[in-house]
Chains A and B, each alone.
Chain A
Amino acid sequence: MTALLEPTLWALGMALLGAVVFALIGLVSGTDETATVAPLTLLVILLGVPPAGVFAFFMASIAAKHVTHAIPTTLLGIPGDTMAAPLLRDAQMLRELGVPHIALRKAISGGAMAALIAVPLAVLFAWIITPFSDAISAVAPWLFLAAAVLIAVLSKGRWGALIALVPFVLIIVGLQQFSSDILGKGLSISFFLGIATGPLIADLVLASTPAGRRSMARPGPRVFELAADVRTWSGRMPNPAKVLDRTQFWGTAGAAAVSSATFVFSPVAMTVMMGELFGGRIKNGYRKLTTLMAVKNGTTESTYIAETLIPLIAIGLPLSPMAAGPANPLFNAPPVFTIDTETGATHNLHDLLGPWQFLVFGLLAVIIALLITYPFAMTQAHRAASWIMRHVSHEAIIGAFAGLIAVICLYEGGIVAILVAVTVGLVGGLMNRLFAMHTGVQFMGYYVAALTVPAIGGLFS
C-alpha cells in the first residue's frame, strides 16, 4: 500500500507546485514554453524528485501555463507564448467586437476539454505503437536525422533552416569534444539551456553593439491596450462544458482526438490545420471566430500532450518537436535520466513508469492544474494581467534568467559549461533570427550531433 501511496503523494504535491508556478509564469506574456518549462523541470529532476513527481510536475505545468497564457493572448493581444500565435488574429477580432472575455472563455474551455481527452488517447496510441519500439530504437540515429530534416524543412526557415542545421550540428560536435577534453565528460544540460535561451542571448549580445542597439531602439515605453473588464456571468462559475455549444464541443473533441494520434508535426502547423478542418466551413462569422478559439486552443493543448506522451511511453527517445523542446529533460537529464549515445539505451521516465502510471498521474496532474487555473482565469484574468503588466518589469525577468543560466551551467560543468551555453545560445539565437531556424530544429540538431554523427562515423570506420 505504501508503495503506491508515496508516488501518489509526490505526484499530488509536485502537480500543485507546477500548477501554481506556471499559472503565474503563463501570465507573463511572451514567455517561451521551452525557455521556462525545460529549465524548471530539469531543476526538479536534478533535485531528486521521484519519477511520478517529475512527470506530474511537468504535466501540471504545461496544463496550467496553457490556461493562463490565454489571458495575455485574448485580453492584451500579445501571444502568451509561441504556440498561441495561430490564435492571435481570431482573438484580436473578438477583442475589436468588444467581447475579449468570450474569446478567453471559449479558448480555455476548449483547452481544458482537449487536455482531458488527450491524456487517455495519447496513452492509448502510445500503447498501440509500443510493440514496434525496439525496431524504432534500433534505427534511432537515423530517425533523429529524418526528424531533424523534416522539422527543419517544415519550419518557417524551410530549406535555409536545413542548410544552417549542418554547421550548427558541427559546432555542437566540436563543443562536445572541447568539453570532454577539459572536463573528462560531455555536457548536455548546458546545451539545452543555451538552445532554449538562445534568442535572449543573441538579443543581449546584439544590444551591446552600436549597430544592434540602433536596430533594437524603441522611441518609448510600449503601449498596451488592455480590454475592458466585462463579465457576463454573475455569481457561480460557468461550467466549461456549457461554455461551448454543440458544434464547438464536438469540433474541439474531434480536433483533440485527431491531434492526439500524431506526434511528429509542428504544433503550430497542426493548430492551423485543425482550425481549418473543424472551424473553416462555418459561414456565420461570429460562430466561426468563437469556434476557432475553442478548436485551435484545444489543438495546441492536445498536440502538446500527445507529442510528449507518445514518444515518452512508446519509445523513450525525444522524437517529436515537443519532446525535443520543453519536455526534453524528461528524456535526458544527466546524471539522473540518461540516453546512451552509443547504444541508444535509455534510463528515463520511459523505463521508470508504466503506461497506467502515465495515465493516472497524467490525468491527476491535468485535473489539479485545471481546478486551480480555470476558476482563476475566469474570475481574475483582468486583475492579474493588469498587475503583471504594471509591476513585473521585463528587466527583472531577464535578470533572473541570466542568473538561472549561470547557476545551472556552473552546476553541470563550471566555467566550461557557461562558455558552451553562451556559444550555443548565441549561434542558435542568431540562426533563429536570420534563418527562422527555431529552437525545436536546434534541439533535434543536438540529438543528430549526439547520436547520428557517431553512427555516420561508424559507417566509415
Chain B
Amino acid sequence: MEDRYLEVWGDTVDKRHLLISIILGVGISVPVYLIADWLFGMLADGAVGHSYALLVGLAGCIAAAVVAARLFKPKRIVEVGTEHTGSREAAMDAIEAEIGPLGDPDELPRAALAEVKELGLYDDLKAQHEKNRRTAVETGERA
C-alpha cells in the first residue's frame, strides 16, 4: 500500500482526506455562490448583488471547512513537554556552543536578575557559570 501521508503547504495531510476536503470546499462554495449571484441578480441591481453573493460564497467556504474539520482529524501528534526534563544543563551547553556564554546571573541588571529568579533559572545559570569558570581555570592550568 502506498503511504497515505503527504506534506502539503507546510503540514502533514492524508491524501484522500485532502482530496475530499477540496471537493467539499469547491463543491459547497461554488454552487452556493452561483445560486446567490443569480438570486441577488433578480432582486438587486448589478454590482451590489454581485458583492453580496461573494459574501455568501465565503460563508460557503467556512461551512465547508467546518464540515471537513469535523470529518477529518488533524494528522498531528501533540506532545506536551514537561517543565523540567533534567536536560537543562545539556540544553545550556548546546546554547553556549552556538551563541556564547550565558554568563554570570549576578552580573545582570536588577530587573533581569529578578526575572531569572522568578523563572527559577537563577540556580541553573549560576551552576552553569561556575562550571564554565572551573573548566576555564583547568584548561588555563594545563596550558
Contact = CB atoms under 8 A, between A and B. Distances in A.
Interface in B73-94: 73-85, 88, 91-92, 94
Interface residues of B, number: 84
Contacts of B105: 286
B53 to A, nearest CB: 7
A399 B53 CA distance: 20
Nearest to A222: B12
A180 B119 CA distance: 63
User: Chain A: interface residue count, which band?
Assistant: 35 or more
Given A96-B94, A219-B3, A227 B60 contact: no
Contacts of B83: 98, 228, 230
Interface string A1-36: 000000000000000000000000000011000000
B8 to A, nearest CB: 5
Nearest to A30: B10
A243 B107 CA distance: 19
Contacts of A290: 112, 115
Interface in B91-143: 91-92, 94-96, 98-105, 107-109, 111-112, 115-116, 118-119, 121, 125
Nearest to B101: A285
Interface in A23-65: 29-30, 43, 46-48
A225 B69 contact: no
Contact of A217 (B3, B29, B112, B118): B3
Nearest to B8: A203
A398 B22 contact: yes
Contacts of B13: 393-395, 398
Given A43-B54, A287-B108, A396 B3 contact: no
Contacts of A288: 99
Nearest to B48: A48
Interface string A89-120: 00001001111001000000000000000000
A459 interface: no
Interface string B20-32: 1111111011100
A391 interface: yes
Contacts of A96: 88, 91, 94-95
B6 to A, nearest CB: 5
Nearest to B56: A407
A142 to B, nearest CB: 35
Given A216-B7, A286-B103, A404 B21 contact: no
Contacts of B6: 207, 213, 216-218
A197 to B, nearest CB: 9
B119 A102 contact: yes
B69 to A, nearest CB: 4
Contact of A30 (B9, B18, B84, B107): B9
A236 interface: no
A224 B78 contact: yes
Contact of A199 (B9, B51, B99, B102): B9
B69 A285 contact: no
Contacts of A456: none
Interface string A213-247: 10011111111111111101000000000000111
Given A286-B103, A335-B47, A404 B5 contact: no
Contacts of B2: 213
Contact of A392 (B18, B74, B109): B74
Given A97-B92, A335-B47, 12 more contacts: A43-B58, A47-B54, A96-B91, A204-B22, A216-B8, A223-B76, A245-B109, A389-B76, A394-B75, A400-B62, A407-B58, A411-B57
23 contacts: A46-B51, A48-B48, A97-B88, A204-B8, A226-B80, A246-B109, A246-B111, A247-B109, A284-B101, A286-B102, A286-B121, A389-B76, A390-B78, A393-B68, A393-B74, A394-B9, A395-B13, A398-B22, A399-B21, A399-B65, A400-B61, A403-B29, A411-B54
The 10 closest A-B pairs by CB, nearest first: A399-B21, A399-B25, A285-B102, A403-B29, A403-B25, A284-B103, A407-B57, A400-B65, A396-B68, A96-B91
